[in-house]
Structure 1
């Protein structure tokens, strides 16, 4: 049986100045697949852009925590160093492109209730019951609820998705370049049903019946 891909309801979760933030993603933005008991999630340029924006907001939260820490004594300076190191690391991550380009594509999902690191401060968790990692951390939560595909057919199989990705490779590369840049503008991923262009079949006129 070929791999099956499905739309999956997901969230992005992280800490900000206003508390814990959960961004609910539309099901059509996240696609998961399963083959030989291995589940994966496809990270598109649009999804990576949202993760990057969440990291930028999370950085502001960490910078605020660092700003209120005193550094008058040697002990205070020493206590401040771990958070200062994390802030510097996240700043470098946001300013570069390596992390974001490395996220693009299909990523293995952890077991249900687990949370695994993908790259930099980006983590992925599946289902409920997992523990939020230490800061800095932005978590993509996959599969708390799954949307049922319409009809008897799944969203797409890997062969069809691969064909669609090949046709739109140039668009993807341009969008990934935007994601990797310093200006975290959210790109719009141009796609039709995961890369498959669907065109309505022309209506054929029925031949007029011959009259005797």
Structure 2
């Protein structure tokens, strides 16, 4: 396994991903499955969050119970496809802060172009999970992480549904300190920058656009 790359092999994740890949999967079903996989990936990416003990009263006696330590983390979906992963993550972490990164891929150059950015004022003091279903060329992922590092963020993790080997290599060439969590690493990119075998354009399939 590539350093900093974590592939979630849980059977439920793999089963749901297989359903999403089918061309016949309707938009509503695609969104539901993506949200469910995002929730399952949330377990994986937050497995090592620090805990601290706090005093509580059970119905029978007092005890020291574990709770998450430190500031609540930030979920940062890359618009627009990353929004499909947000609700699944928030279902487990409803108190998380949410940042938004607006990027689109120039069809001629495949480079990422930013059009919107909004994050909590103290984002530099929090763990940031950048969410985007596809790590293809990785230009958008690199640009999103660049933006958070420019704000002083030191602890960043990237979470996606699918990755291509080229995208993983390009991403870690720019950000070797940022680990990647994904449900699968597919064969390769095609000439148009799409992941093969992949599942098509996640944003279009999610929202019923072309």
Q: TM-score with structure 2 length normalisation?
A: 0.30
**Higher alpha-carbon Rg:** 1
Work out which structure has the larger RCO, using CA pairs closer than 8 Å and 6 or more positions apart in sequence: 1
Q: TM-score with structure 1 length normalisation?
A: 0.30
